[in-house]
Chain A
Amino acid sequence: MTSANVPYDVAVLGGGNAALGAALTARRAGARVIVLERAPRHFRGGNSRHVRNLRCAHAAPTDILTDSYSPAELLDDLVRVNGGETDETLARIVAERSAECVDWMRVYGVRFQASLRGTLHLSRTNAFFLGGGKALMNSYYAQAERLGIDVQYDADVVALEVDDGVWRGATVETRGERRRVTARAVVLAAGGFEANLGRLREAWGDAADNFIVRGTPYNTGTVLHAMLDTGAQSIGSPSECHAVAIDGRAPKFDGGIATRLDSVPLGIVVNRDGERFHDEGEDFWPKRYAIWGKLVAREPGQVAYSIVDAKVRDRFIPSMFPPIEAVSVRELAAKLGISAAALERTVTDFNAAVRPGAFDHEQLDGCRTVGLARDKTNWAQRLDTPPYWGYPLRPGITFTYLGLRVDERARVLFASGEPFANVYAAGEIMAGNVLRRGYVAGIGMTIGTVFGRIAGEEAVKHAAR
């Protein structure tokens, strides 16, 4: 092992939105900063590569946000999805400082979409990055280079040296070569462990083998677990993850947004036995897609099939994968590999239970079934118009909730509540402090940006001491 002689004030472990937020903040404050990004340059940015927007409070309409959205309302939204289980001090900081995020990002060349569009109709609460998260990260990295931040790619942090609450350095491996990196303070922004299949199996058993990881394959939780091993206090359940139902033909890693499937509320969903298992019309898809990940995960083989007929084929955003098409339910069953008799029975029973109504996919239309073991309560129409389309569904993991407990200065805490001397955390690795369960669109980016900046500020203060 060779020892790097370059002295840094702040080392940032990770390369996504929170990491770059911390690095740019620290550099602007005059610190010498090194960023250790595990991915190669092309795949840099962690899960921020795949994001689209950021939730932010604002007092009045802007060029990119409509209406107004107060910090109090944002806080309410956060508390609601958490079932009240959030660190309110930290959640309040996120809500209040969310209002600064857009202006801060713009300083670094980040561009946003005008508020006119936005497929999710979130332009009141969320600012959309022009071109998405990769464009955002490109802007950040270009600025990092310009400002003289030492960005190292393919830099896999394999071990941390911590003694007596003081971080001394990290062992970094690049293409088999190991070296030691040290700095006065460290910002941990290396994400969760959703790409660590071994750890997922610990929590979910064999079912985990059928999960798809929607984002970066580099979030294996090495830094998170290394810190927990040194006695850092954890937050969030180690077995909880955010998973959505996505097209089952997605690649194992990194399929991102294009593997989404929006057809669920418009038809029926059956498991591999050809049986329905949940109300497909409970609510609008953007409000329900997150529960379907777990629903599908509980079904045999962790697979399900969304089935629609020709009546609704132009009512949802097309999947990147072509539908599996058939002229009859029987033929579709054969193509999907499920029992034809079972699927025909399910469709016949479903069709018989559909009550008349005025179908309108743009509102909760009350078109429902009556008398089934699991009724569909909106958008229920008979499946009777060929061709029939089928899409396989699998659980797609977005992120894990387990994280490091931090205080309002982003300092990582021991189980005792005492802080580590020079260890700060930002982003998914500490998001569990604010977000224990559920999700509201764009809040991960808000937590990452707000705490990235706090971690950067605090790390510089420490380094200057």
Chain B
Amino acid sequence: MRLADATAEGARVMAVCNACRYCEQYCPVFQAMEHRLSFATADVTYLANLCHNCGECLYACQYAPPHEFSINVPQALARARVQSYEDCAWPAPLGRAFRHQGVLVALSLAAVMIVLLFAATLVANPNALRGAATRASFYAVMPHGAMVALFGAVGAYVLVALAMGARRFRRMARGPSTAQHVAARSGASARLAALRDVLTLRHLHASGEPCTTAEEVRTPWRRRFHHATFYGFVLCFASTAVAALYHVLGLEAPYAVASVPVVLGTLGGIGVVTGTLGLLIGARTRDAALTDAAQRRLDRSFIVLLLLTGASGLLLLALREHRVMGSLLLVHLGLVLALFVTLPYGKFVHGIYRAIALAQHAREERQR
């Protein structure tokens, strides 16, 4: 669905919702909607990214299909959301290139990265994959300098691309809209409120019960698996950061099983693997009417890459003294690279845009 279609449908749906308002206590989407009289592209983009896709409003809707008004808020906003990822992506051509990103694209990219890493490693040192395992020495496979240079460069690029995307999105979320006047002042308390909402996924259970997976079927597991994935990801990141710090301080890898990097990485890896597996399984049993095909594709490709990254990381840890360690390391690093370069063009940005939208919402509520 093209931009005009996705946002036009979002605007049509919101106009009906704004005249009804029965759903106003389900979530911030409807509260933010009530501050607006009409829905320009920017408004729809903002509302779409406030939506957590909990699904309550579809089942509560007297106008849901097959009613002739055909109102499906979760699906309309899911489409507008996917559209906004493409719209805000930087640079724009890459946003378009990854528009239809699916599991296949993600896996192909990972395969390319892995092949390149193997080629580069073997060209630089034909014996790199032999013998390193006994010392569990990752840097014998890929020298520390090379690793820092590669991931530093990719990381810097990803950060810039994410920041540009966030900037574009923030500009959209703040207007031009009919609620523009409330957005002028930004407050630390609004940001704190948004941070709390993000860290607790409050709006997946704010209306008193967990979110829906089908009519009258509510389950806390989507929220729990999301937490496992998110906090697992954070722990893995922390593990890498601590290891980098240790290296600077002269504490060379490998680290003991009870060391901070290994404990954080193990817990994080377990979180990511169980979380992503749970989300993948949960998505299969969830009512398809609640989501959009393009959204599901994006979700899956990101989740699968995360899962493989987490699983390969755990495996690497378990087999770090085995002779396959060298190959495993390159597979893991290839997966990490593929994950990183797709971050700005896929599902990952939902966390950033959601946080910005929630902060904007908190500001709007404070100005009421």
Contact = CB atoms under 8 A, between A and B. Distances in A.
Given A130-B25, A132-B22, A138 B60 contact: yes
Given A119-B24, A130-B25, A131-B23, A49 B62 contact: yes
A128 B60 CA distance: 13
Given A134-B61, A318-B15, A139 B21 contact: no
A258 B19 contact: yes
B62 A256 contact: yes
B19 A257 contact: yes
B219 interface: no
Interface residues of B, number: 31
A50 interface: yes
B246 interface: no
A256 B71 CA distance: 13
Interface string B158-195: 00000000000000000000000000000000000000
Contacts of A114: 25
B22 A257 contact: yes
Contacts of A111: 207-209
B56 interface: yes
Contacts, number: 91
A257 B37 CA distance: 17
Contact of B18 (A50, A113, A142, A318): A318
Interface string B57-74: 101111110111100000
Contact of A135 (B38, B60, B63, B68): B60
A135 B24 CA distance: 13
Interface in A135-170: 135, 138-139, 141-142
B24 A251 contact: no
Contacts of B19: 257-260, 317-320
Interface in A400-434: none
Contacts of A313: 37
B68 A132 contact: no
A121 interface: no
Nearest to A50: B62
Interface residues of A, number: 36
A58 interface: no
Contact of B69 (A109, A141, A142, A258): A258
A119 B209 CA distance: 23
A130 B61 CA distance: 11
Interface string B93-119: 000000000000000000000000000
B24 A117 contact: yes
A276 interface: no
B59 A135 contact: yes
B37 A117 contact: no
Contacts of B21: 119, 317
Given A132-B22, A257-B22, A314 B37 contact: yes
A112 to B, nearest CB: 9
Residues of B contacting A: mostly: loop
A52 interface: yes
A42 interface: yes
Interface in A187-212: none
B139 interface: no
Interface in A220-242: none
Nearest to B208: A111
Nearest to A53: B22
Interface in A62-79: none
Interface string B21-34: 11111100000000
B62 A133 contact: yes
A251 B23 contact: no
A260 B38 CA distance: 17
Given A111-B208, A130-B207, A256-B20, A318 B62 contact: no
A258 B20 contact: yes
A142 B59 CA distance: 12
A254 B71 CA distance: 14
B63 A131 contact: no
Contacts of A320: 15-16, 18-20, 69
Nearest to B31: A117
A52 B56 CA distance: 16
B252 interface: no
A256 B64 CA distance: 12
B30 to A, nearest CB: 10
20 contacts: A52-B22, A111-B207, A131-B22, A131-B26, A131-B56, A132-B22, A132-B23, A132-B60, A134-B59, A135-B56, A135-B59, A142-B216, A251-B68, A257-B62, A258-B19, A318-B18, A318-B19, A318-B38, A320-B15, A322-B15
Closest 8 CB pairs of A and B: A131-B60, A132-B22, A320-B19, A135-B60, A142-B216, A258-B19, A258-B20, A113-B25
Given A42-B67, A111-B209, A318-B18, 5 more contacts: A114-B25, A119-B24, A134-B62, A258-B16, A317-B21
